[in-house]
Structure 1
Amino acid sequence: MRHGWAWWLGCLVAACTMAGAVRAQTWAIERATVVASPEAAPLADAVVVVRDGRIVSVGRAGEVRVPADARRIDADGRVLVAGFWNSHVHFLLPGLTEVADAPAATLELEVRSLLTRWGFTSVFDLGGLPGNARRLRARIEAGDVRGPRILTVDAPFYPADGTPHYVRDVMKQHGAPSAEVATPDAARARARTQLEEGADGAKLFIGALVGGPQGVVHMAPDVARAVVDTAHATHRPVFAHPSTTQGIEIALQAGVDVLAHSTPIDGPWPDGMAQRLVAADMALVPSLKLFEVELRKESVPPAVIERFLAVGQAQLRAFREAGGPVLFGTDVGYIHDSDPHREYALMAGAGMDWRAILASLTTEPARRFGHGARSGRIVPGMDADLVLLGRDPADDVLALSDVVWVMRGGQVQYEAPEPGASAQR
């Protein structure tokens, strides 16, 4: 290596701390092994030139002209991939629930720890306190805070008497209004308001876990359909938290676009369920690690957890074999553990190779959410959302969590510490 990559990046980040300043710069990432898309063959000894937040050229060393004013980064042969999408996050943890007046440094630290440190340059927030994610997005877009591109559903929609037991205390603590909707008219009116105020989609708790003897409360199909029709009128997606097979049936009736979870609580899917989901053009966020985290909190025996996860993996496998699009998501921000390596391992255990998982992180969500022309691949004209991996995922899928450097829109978001140094959150 000509210089330690952390040395290079330390100099660069120290010199460029504000988003506007970084986006105005030219960068050259050299000696990279570029995997331009999940289908592309690796391009060794490659150069990627970035200017004003966009990729302007990609090619082998000697074939790409490096501008004289470019700030150079030596990738030292490491694998460079497009920035990752996490299609299921929340901003519900302490430090991220009151973002309007929080110090920028505090927010940036929390966002980096939760998301950008793992390569996530775009995220879809699937429900939180009203307006909170939009306020965080505004601070990021203004250059006040470094962070990912944020899409949000804003406040979720719960069925009548169906506020999940695990969010009641958070809502009460912050004085949030009820997110329950009992009629199609009420659902339609709130959906219209949220979308007009800047929501990028909607989230339906079609199967809400309320605890106690009730267990799961399901949303009325006509209420769900009212939200879906309102969102689709403005070409925005609707996510569903189904919980059960009955929840999936309601999602199908309503015309939902994305299942935010699989449904291992109900056991294996009935024959033909995966094919029906694919025929309805529905995508799936498996979020398998979430189930493991939740069951461990309840001290469920390991053998039972393994059987539960095996059902979730079988559902994911059936969905993929039917040709369904998979979107990566971890429910982080509801769960505290931000490390995605376990989700990668569980997806691999369901038969997804590294290229399929990379697609769920890049091209699939970019296409599904209307960003395919600017995100998901390393080609000229795309946003300069880039992730440098310390190891090759072709050798070990868990290398997708070995993130050493992240750029979003031409701005350095994260750099890993030198080996032996204290870890940077």
Structure 2
Amino acid sequence: MAALAGGARAEALAIVNARIYPDPQAAAIDAGTVLVRDGRIVEVGTSVTLPDDARVVDADGGVVTAGFWNSHAHVLPLPLREAETRSAAKLDFALRRMFTGKGFTTVFDIASFPSGNAAALRRRIEDGEVTGPALLTVDAPFFPDGGTPSYVQDLLDTLQVPSAEVATAEAARARARDQLEHGADGVKLFIGAIVDDGKGVVVMDATIAKAVVDEAHRRHKPVFAHPTTLAGVEVALEAGVDVLAHTTPTGGPWNDVLAKRLVEADIALTPTLALFEIEVRKDQAPESVVAQVVSVARQQLRAFHQAGGQVLFGTDVGYVDLFETRREFELMADADMDWRAILASLTTTPARRFGQGDRKGRVWAGMDADLVVLASDPADDPTAFADVRHTVRGGALVHSARMAAVPSSRPGVAGP
């Protein structure tokens, strides 16, 4: 796959016989072609002349969209958390299984350990040694004083890493400054931290949260917040965070007033609806309880979306083994997001939100050649976003359902 990533930039790549959705609001281009070269889209249309050196990928009537963003993920599992020392082949496999095989060409890691690991993985991807998505990271998260989440403590003990708790605004500001100066693309606050094996929630002091937000915003970097409760949402509003990493289904429905406040504060939301099913079932709760929690989570997303909020697609993969995306799309559709709104959450909304809207998120000439080929049309069924046939990242074919038939110069890299 490294040969693919390197070679595809030198030659042209053409995706033909496709239904193309240039962006979430544009009309489809039927029987279209997307021509890319040197990592950029060169031409899109129905009368594209292919150069002699073009590598042709037949979409076979499938749908082409811009590459997907996963705006809530973690590079925590092995082998990813050992990015400096693991073989490129093992990292390739893990990244394709978690991300590029699902159409994700850009991923925001919103908390991982040890500190600096995600940046090391990004360097290996950018150097062409490892094939993977464009990777953004917040590096280590910020926990409230006395609020290390109970489900994280064992990992921290295993890795023997320092506590991520911050007790004062000054300490929080200093650590935020240090992480951002060393390449973090944002910061993550556990404003509501679940402790005591899930029996309680410690809420971060608003002055500490505000100190981190101010330091990040001074550098024009986003702040993600894990709110957990409605009290956590209020601290997020007071501190001025940019993205809520989850809804808060244990806190009851969001009314129209709260949804409007979030929208007016320009706070985006990553709903991660399927996560709640997994987490509640993990506690062996009755299915009636699972259904109730998920119903509230859907209601919160529906209220936020109907108020005009910016929704970002995310799965929390890396914390959970949630490689399959179909259920998330199904739940988002059940929350009254149509396929165009879901496509925006995967493409244009995160690209704009994270300052890359001038080059990512649309299938337009001049944009980065990050593309997804789907086997079926999400206009007919939004779960079709999970039917990924091919993924192109920076002009390189990095995943294909037929990847096993594509030769690789790297020993140990197998097809799906």
- TM-score interval, smaller chain: over 0.9
Aligned partner of residue 122 in structure 1, secondary structure: strand
Kept in 2: contact 1:36–1:42 (CA 8 A):
yes
CA distance in 1 between partners of 2:397 and 2:198 (Å): 50
Kept in 2: contact 1:228–1:254 (CA 8 A):
yes
Q: Which residue does 2:143 correspond to in 1?
A: 158
Query: Which consecutive aligned stretches of 4+ in structure 1 deviate over 3 angstroms post-superposition?
Result: none
Q: Which residue does 2:80 correspond to in 1?
A: 96
Aligned partner of residue 276 in structure 1, secondary structure: helix
Structure 1 position 78 matched with structure 2 position 69: no
Structure 1 position 170 matched with structure 2 position 155: yes
Distance 1:399 1:335, change over 3 A: same
Q: Which residue does 1:354 correspond to in 2?
A: 339
Kept in 2: contact 1:18–1:143 (CA 8 A):
no
Q: Which residue does 1:26 correspond to in 2?
A: 12
Q: Which residue does 1:118 correspond to in 2?
A: 102
Paired letter, 1:235? H
User: In the TM superposition, what is the alpha-carbon distance from 1:386 to its structure 2 partner?
Assistant: 0.6
User: In the TM superposition, what is the alpha-carbon distance from 1:211 to its structure 2 partner?
Assistant: 2.5
TM score, norm. by length of structure 2: 0.95
Residue 87 of structure 1: which of 58, 65, 71 is its match?
A: 71
Paired letter, 2:400? E
CA distance in 1 between partners of 2:193 and 2:366 (Å): 42
Unaligned runs of 5+ in 1: 1-12
Aligned partner of residue 167 in structure 1, secondary structure: helix
Equivalence map 1:292-331=2 (5 Å) = 292-331=277-316
- The Cα offsets for residues 337-358 of structure 1, whole Å up to 9 and x where unpaired, read as 2101100011000001111101
Q: Which residue does 1:8 correspond to in 2?
A: none
Distance 1:273 1:24, change over 3 A: same
Kept in 1: contact 2:347–2:360 (CA 8 A):
yes
TM score, norm. by length of structure 1: 0.93
Distance 1:185 1:259, change over 3 A: same
Paired letter, 1:37? D
Aligned partner of residue 166 in structure 1, secondary structure: helix
Deviates more, 1:42-51 or 1:69-78: 69-78
Kept in 1: contact 2:256–2:303 (CA 8 A):
no
Residue 45 of structure 1: which of 27, 31, 34 is its match?
A: 31
User: In the TM superposition, what is the alpha-carbon distance from 1:21 to its structure 2 partner?
Assistant: 2.7
Q: Which residue does 2:381 correspond to in 1?
A: 396
Kept in 2: contact 1:18–1:144 (CA 8 A):
no
Residue 41 of structure 2: which of 55, 61, 74 is its match?
A: 55
How much is the aligned-residue C-alpha RMSD, in angstroms?
1.5
Q: Which residue does 1:108 correspond to in 2?
A: 92
Structure 1 position 405 matched with structure 2 position 383: no
User: In the TM superposition, what is the alpha-carbon distance from 1:424 to its structure 2 partner?
Assistant: 4.7
User: In the TM superposition, what is the alpha-carbon distance from 1:148 to its structure 2 partner?
Assistant: 0.2
Unaligned runs of 5+ in 2: 405-413
- The Cα offsets for residues 223-253 of structure 1, whole Å up to 9 and x where unpaired, read as 0000000000010000000000000000000
CA distance in 2 between partners of 1:87 and 1:211 (Å): 28
Residue 290 of structure 1: which of 275, 279, 288 is its match?
A: 275
Residue 238 of structure 1: which of 205, 210, 223 is its match?
A: 223
Q: Which residue does 2:193 correspond to in 1?
A: 208
User: In the TM superposition, what is the alpha-carbon distance from 1:20 to its structure 2 partner?
Assistant: 3.1
Residue 240 of structure 2: which of 255, 267, 270 is its match?
A: 255
Paired letter, 1:350? A
Paired letter, 1:205? F
Matched pairs, number: 406
CA distance in 1 between partners of 2:333 and 2:161 (Å): 39
CA distance in 1 between partners of 2:347 and 2:255 (Å): 30
Q: Which residue does 1:127 correspond to in 2?
A: 111
Aligned partner of residue 14 in structure 2, secondary structure: strand
Aligned partner of residue 155 in structure 1, secondary structure: coil
Aligned partner of residue 85 in structure 1, secondary structure: strand
